[in-house]
Structure 1
């Protein structure tokens, strides 16, 4: 295939979900502050593909047969954009948007399109470096809550502290063993249709750290590092994971080292890690002060160069009915200064969090890559965990023991910044509401029998749930990976449509017949599937419009009035930020809302049930994660009942 040709259409979520589950997650980008795309924040995602049996092996993008990322046709993008904007606009707003869109297409947009086409011709992926800067490195809000998601592991039941340390040691050894898979070029190359998916991001997560800078952060890569950083009671430790001859240290030795680390400290240290939870500019200022000490600078360097961090947290009590809510919040922000927020280093791409109460998971800072490496790590560990022999191999001698990383007593200036960071993370922890719903009425199996896309069905349920609460359409996005392209990141799936709004209204209309409702449901689901296919091919709306605006900025041209059109503003104000993480385990991903008046919702549709993690801001009186979760529960049940009346009945999970 000519690499300038479009990728073939694919049936993404239906036929390939079991082989290639999508793990998505939005990252926030305050593009208003940076003058880039829309007056709201824009998303990126974590996308994953599981390993098929017959995969070819390669992790080098340059060795793969990948497509070059194109510049789309302007008229096609404008046409699709107008259709996606309709459900959130009044008639007057739509007419104004159409007028500005026509002017844009004829004048400024056409000029910017020519510039973009020239840039796209000269670069393998014109979007990737610009997206990294716009969506991540210039993003100034905290990565805590706003950007970095929590990804849960199944709950554990530790009978003794030895069990706790051995479990953590196995996680460490498993992650280091998976790094060897990456280093040896044995990460399978997955295909979507006839196109290979880019695997280059797998080499970008181990040893990677975000570095705070005023206005724009930096990324540092340390893939050849031989140690991890362990955090216990706010103290930091260097723990080698290879012995002196380069062998991976086995779990038994690592568990002993973890036990010794815990035994070495009885009191909590100065919570230097709190600084990393703050806004990026606040942290950049504190970082400059922190690094004035050569002792601090050496310790920070060791943390930054570590393959990943492991947080051995303080026990957090919980009521049984709140276990999933507490778990998610611990991964997202650590619970505040009175719990575990100081026991973090939020700049690290991979943070492993383990609590003696049985809670564990990842916190993922995903500036360098989407989520497929994290998903494949978790999949790999889940597969090897039941086999004790996997953790008996490796070195048990000739290794360097752990060492503490010292920090000087904070200066008055740094102490003030620590207090400010603590207050800020406490506000975030207090304001964020999370409700995890395990819906047991049905799962993927029932929906597949109905010949309905499970992902699209859940997306329509979220649209319906929002409409039930707010009596209006809510702009909603889901993110699609662009891994068929060299260096591909993400495109937005705009889930709010005329079809989804018509379906929601029909469900609320007592005069509407079931036959009409079923017909509208199928139209909405199929419409979402079609947009998903386009987005996965790179033929969405948002990245193209962003690219055109970036061309104006890069060439010192004024921003066209089109970008202030009601349709541009309102359709990109995503009040429902959604993502899917496919896992057979009782696990889920979670994150904060995208907008102050919106919700976050990450879901895991399993065979017979669906996990949904809903978030909202308590400070906004219009939203409630508890009520949204309840509305989703009721929406799913209503939709199931509708299909039952139409014929098929699901088997509810007991």
Structure 2
């Protein structure tokens, strides 16, 4: 099975910060502006998170399908209680699903101060909204008024070797506290109000990194699979450590959260709280730990400052209009992304689109690659040729059909990238010479993607994003909704050739231009999706 190899090579063996592989999620705005309202919103979020947890363990999650084919649901069972453990050379995973009895607590962080909060009563039922608010207002807020000068859990945002050094001493000095954070079902971060003049105050930065140590990065534990960040100024975001699951299980979680807020579906009845329902986790730090924590927090700042992030809603049309033209919305958007890139950079970008392999047991993702001959021909005809309207329209349709065809191949296990990965890692484990293809300049160029993309559809207006992987690429996550398309675009801030704002402008132009091509030009061929 490829999945264990994939988790190792894509995540656990990486020595860079987990921030670079942890998606951020931005929920629709929910109005609140003080700590009283923040506690009320946080309590509802906690109950929603626990409701989803129980849906998973009771097998009440609706079956995911692709067409008529059922998809593997294994990833859902890995979301809660799962923690990535920093180790030298390669990290470990502790899965919540491996615990004999599920934990009864979460971790709450405010001003860099972590707390263990029990969220079940003495009868092992989820505590009420009133009780949750009581615990936050009467215990967490009064004991976190001051900023912790050594927010140790935020060290998880540094490089893995530095964090592993800190963590080893945490295990040595405070093993019981370490066990508490590792077994927590999830993390809730009660963020502080940020100066609107701070360029890292936007929800996009808060979801990805917390915005730096002078913002809310001190309220983060990046090794926990799910963090819910309860900010001010209508900001609700999530951060996902990505090792065990792709985004669809998180997408459903976010839709359920929003459904609960819309219907006010929260538990108000209560039983008696457990003893010691809240415990402040006071970690001991020696001098070397403090020094390494400073190094880790500096890395978080550097990563935050390197990212140029924009969330943008294209309002010209959505997936319903594209479907009426008998075209695949995903393929249409992919062509628009390639066209937008070409308009700025004058070359066809090596493009990665992640697609699910969940038709197979414990499947993760395969890579849909662009450009194809057909998509490149379309971009060329739009930008470079004096082609007729009919020729451009036919090229557009051929490009969409080409992309959709390869998408289906990848979904059914006929993509090439995971096969090549398996070949490379098999050679490593068998201790035989690496096949020469992996040493060739062509292969190295092939795996250097300038455009890394992912589609995550949801019922509600929810944005998903991730940091750029290379110094010269864009990260684009998009949510194709019925009447609009939501984009979360990132680029390296200090590489002058890339700009998320310029990309948004080129993308708006490209989407509008492609619609015009389809509407205003006759066609000699028809799409067959």
**TM category, shorter:** over 0.9
Aligned counterpart in structure 2 of residue 189 of structure 1, from 63, 66, 71:
63
C-alpha offsets along residues 20-66 of structure 1, whole Å, 9 cap, x if unaligned?
xxxxxxxxxxxxxxxxxxxxxxxxxxxxxxxxxxxxxxxxxxxxxxx
SS of 2:479's equivalent in the other structure is strand
1:319–1:608 Cα change, 3 Å: farther
- CA drift at 1:159: 5.2
Structure 1 runs of 4+ with >4 Å offset: none
Q: 1:247 aligned to 2:125?
A: yes
Aligned counterpart in structure 1 of residue 40 of structure 2, from 140, 154, 166:
166
Between the aligned partners of 1:430 and 1:192, the Cα distance in structure 2 is 39
Deviates more, 1:153-162 or 1:352-361: 153-162
C-alpha offsets along residues 576-614 of structure 1, whole Å, 9 cap, x if unaligned?
000112123332111111221110011111122111111
Task: Report the equivalent of 1:14.
Answer: none
- CA drift at 1:394: 4.7
1:349-498 correspondence runs (5 A):
349-388=225-264, 390-400=265-275, 401-408=277-284, 410-498=285-373
Between the aligned partners of 1:253 and 1:646, the Cα distance in structure 2 is 63
Task: Report the equivalent of 2:8.
Answer: 133
Task: Report the equivalent of 1:277.
Answer: 157
Query: Contact conserved, 1:228 with 1:239, CA < 8 A, in 2?
Result: yes
Query: Contact conserved, 1:248 with 1:394, CA < 8 A, in 2?
Result: no
Task: Report the equivalent of 2:22.
Answer: 148
1:284-323 correspondence runs (5 A):
284-294=164-174, 297-318=175-196
Higher relative contact order (CA 8 A, sep 6+): 1
Task: Report the equivalent of 2:116.
Answer: 238
Query: Contact conserved, 2:204 with 2:310, CA < 8 A, in 1?
Result: no
SS of 1:488's equivalent in the other structure is coil
1:65-104 correspondence runs (5 A):
none
- CA drift at 1:396: 4.2
Task: Report the equivalent of 2:527.
Answer: none
- CA drift at 1:319: 7.0
TM-score, length-scaled by structure 2: 0.94
C-alpha offsets along residues 599-636 of structure 1, whole Å, 9 cap, x if unaligned?
00111111221111111112212222221222112211
SS of 1:291's equivalent in the other structure is helix
SS of 1:228's equivalent in the other structure is strand
Aligned counterpart in structure 2 of residue 591 of structure 1, from 441, 444, 466:
466
1:398–1:415 Cα change, 3 Å: closer
Between the aligned partners of 1:358 and 1:192, the Cα distance in structure 2 is 35
Between the aligned partners of 1:180 and 1:200, the Cα distance in structure 2 is 15
Task: Report the equivalent of 2:96.
Answer: 222
Between the aligned partners of 1:190 and 1:412, the Cα distance in structure 2 is 50
Q: How many residues align?
A: 516
SS of 1:342's equivalent in the other structure is helix
Q: Which runs of 5+ in 1 are unaligned?
A: 1-125, 649-654
1:619–1:241 Cα change, 3 Å: same
Task: Report the equivalent of 1:49.
Answer: none
Query: Contact conserved, 1:603 with 1:613, CA < 8 A, in 2?
Result: yes
C-alpha offsets along residues 461-514 of structure 1, whole Å, 9 cap, x if unaligned?
001011111111111111111111111111111132111111111111361211
Query: Contact conserved, 1:239 with 1:403, CA < 8 A, in 2?
Result: yes
- CA drift at 1:447: 0.8
Query: Contact conserved, 1:336 with 1:429, CA < 8 A, in 2?
Result: yes
SS of 2:249's equivalent in the other structure is helix
Aligned counterpart in structure 1 of residue 53 of structure 2, from 173, 179, 183:
179
C-alpha offsets along residues 401-460 of structure 1, whole Å, 9 cap, x if unaligned?
21111122x322111111111221111111111122211111112111111111110100
Between the aligned partners of 2:366 and 2:381, the Cα distance in structure 1 is 30
Query: Contact conserved, 2:188 with 2:228, CA < 8 A, in 1?
Result: yes
Task: Report the equivalent of 1:38.
Answer: none
- CA drift at 1:565: 2.7
Task: Report the equivalent of 2:141.
Answer: 262
C-alpha offsets along residues 125-182 of structure 1, whole Å, 9 cap, x if unaligned?
x2111112111111111111x1001011111211553322111111101111121111
1:58-69 correspondence runs (5 A):
none
Between the aligned partners of 1:192 and 1:265, the Cα distance in structure 2 is 47
Between the aligned partners of 2:453 and 2:248, the Cα distance in structure 1 is 17
Query: Contact conserved, 1:436 with 1:629, CA < 8 A, in 2?
Result: no
1:338–1:160 Cα change, 3 Å: closer
Task: Report the equivalent of 1:204.
Answer: 78
Query: Contact conserved, 2:170 with 2:178, CA < 8 A, in 1?
Result: no
Q: 1:637 aligned to 2:500?
A: no
Q: 1:327 aligned to 2:203?
A: yes
- CA drift at 1:393: 4.2
Deviates more, 1:620-629 or 1:574-583: 620-629
Query: Contact conserved, 1:155 with 1:360, CA < 8 A, in 2?
Result: yes
- CA drift at 1:256: 1.9
SS of 1:337's equivalent in the other structure is coil
C-alpha offsets along residues 191-221 of structure 1, whole Å, 9 cap, x if unaligned?
3345321112211111110000011100112
Q: 1:528 aligned to 2:400?
A: no
Between the aligned partners of 1:443 and 1:195, the Cα distance in structure 2 is 26
1:318–1:607 Cα change, 3 Å: farther
Query: Contact conserved, 2:33 with 2:232, CA < 8 A, in 1?
Result: no
SS of 2:18's equivalent in the other structure is coil
TM-score, length-scaled by structure 1: 0.76
Q: 1:336 aligned to 2:212?
A: yes
Query: Contact conserved, 1:253 with 1:396, CA < 8 A, in 2?
Result: no
1:554-569 correspondence runs (5 A):
554-569=429-444
